[in-house]
């Protein structure tokens, strides 16, 4: 379908990018409301600073942020660049999925998976927790697409369950040992559950790759976040002292969810080829 004609390719690419950006914008709002304990169904979007209801022109993905130069139209307060980043990222992910899976149910399946992972990543980044309902939604989405799976269902199910149980079970064991040695939680329970869920989607071999890539990305993310924390701390000290009693981020705490989310999407795109190539070496 995708490569019938160059105009069709271009048209589908634009549609995929718009779907990704619009979905990214919605998920951002959903994640923010989850973290700040607002009802997800509590009406129209509003500015998180002044509370002004946002109009259609304020809600165009990517363009609104760029044209308003990252500021609210009403109170001129700064709008976090994470909105723009999530919209651009999801536009890119949607495009990559289209070129990987063409116009198919697989495209829809993995796009839903990516949107839910974005929600997990954003919530974990801000609140250091992964709510169980996101894991439940991911499992539900996986179950929903089971009947559409091409090929034999039993080997597919066996591979999925092996990927889920072995990786998360192994991690649980390792984290229990480290918890004992360190005397504190080394890996969050939400992260272990998330590896269970990604195992269902990716299967055993690719979920193992996912674990390795997640750790590498997690280290990278940890470095970036601690740099950013130091930077904002210096700025704060230079300008005005932090208010006593205000909550501050524990600099030793690193959210692992965003790294797992990014790695899982990478594994959807190129995981099978990479593990296949690795196996062919032996």
CB 68 within 8 Å of CB 58: yes
> CB 95 → Zn ion: shortest distance, Å?
31
C-alpha 199: how far from chain center: 16
In the complex with Zn ion, the residue whose CB is nearer, 33 or 49, is 49
Distance of CA 9 to the CA centre of its chain: 27
Taking each helix axis from N to C end, the angle separating 189-239 and 105-127, rounded to the nearest 10 degrees, works out to 50
Alpha-carbon span 237 to 251, nearest angstrom: 16
Task: Give CA–CA dist 251/232, Å, rounded.
Answer: 12
CB of 79 to Zn ion, least distance (A): 8
- Provide the minimum distance between the beta carbon of 76 and Zn ion in the complex, in angstroms, as a whole number: 7
Which residue, 72 or 90, is less far from Zn ion as judged by CB? 72
Phi, psi of 170 (to 5 degrees): -60, -45
Minimum CB separation from Zn ion for residue 113, in Å?
33
Of the pair 80, 104, the CB lying nearest Zn ion is at: 80
Residue 75 or 242 having the CB closest to Zn ion: 75
Phi, psi of 208 (to 5 degrees): -65, -45
**CA proximity to 96, closest of 19, 33, 174, 34:** 19
For Zn ion, which is the closer residue by CB, 47 or 274?
47
* Site for Zn ion, rule CB under 5 A: 47, 49-50, 72, 74-75, 77
The minimum distance between CB 68 and Zn ion, in angstroms, equals 10
Are the beta carbons of 157 and 201 closer than 8 angstroms? no
Task: Decide: 254 and 218 in contact? Cβ < 8 Å.
Answer: yes
Least distance to Zn ion, CB of residue 73, Å: 7
CB of 40 to Zn ion, least distance (A): 21
Q: Which lies closer to Zn ion via its Cβ, residue 77 or residue 155? A: 77
- Pick the closer one to Zn ion by CB: 75 or 224: 75
Which of 156, 15, 4 minimizes the C-alpha distance to 98? 15
């Amino acid at each position: 379908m995708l490569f019938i004609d160059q105009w069709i390719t271009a048209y589908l690419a634009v549609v995929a990018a718009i779907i990704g950006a619009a979905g990214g914008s919605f998920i951002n709002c959903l994640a923010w409301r989850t973290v700040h304990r607002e009802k997800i169904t509590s009406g129209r979007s509003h500015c998180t600073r002044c509370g002004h209801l946002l109009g259609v022109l304020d809600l165009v993905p990517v363009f609104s942020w760029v044209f308003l130069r990252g500021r609210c139209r009403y109170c001129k307060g700064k709008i976090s660049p994470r909105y723009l980043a999530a919209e651009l990222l999801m536009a890119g992910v949607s495009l990559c999925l289209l070129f990987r899976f063409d116009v198919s149910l697989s495209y829809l399946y993995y796009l839903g998976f990516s949107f839910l992972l974005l929600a997990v990543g954003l919530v974990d980044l801000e609140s250091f927790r992964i709510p169980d309902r996101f894991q439940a939604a991911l499992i539900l989405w996986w179950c929903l697409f089971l009947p559409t799976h091409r090929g034999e269902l039993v080997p597919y199910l066996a591979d999925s369950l092996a990927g889920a149980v072995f990786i998360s079970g192994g991690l649980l064991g390792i984290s229990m040992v480290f918890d004992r040695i360190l005397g504190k939680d080394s890996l969050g329970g939400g992260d272990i559950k998330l590896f269970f869920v990604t195992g269902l989607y990716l299967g055993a071999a690719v979920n193992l790759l996912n674990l390795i890539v997640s750790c590498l990305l997690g280290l990278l993310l940890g470095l970036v976040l601690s740099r950013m924390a130091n930077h904002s701390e210096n700025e704060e000290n230079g300008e005005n002292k932090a208010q006593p009693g205000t909550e501050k981020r524990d600099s030793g705490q690193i959210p692992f969810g965003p790294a797992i989310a990014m790695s899982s999407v990478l594994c959807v795109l190129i995981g099978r080829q990479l593990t296949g190539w690795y196996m062919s070496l032996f």
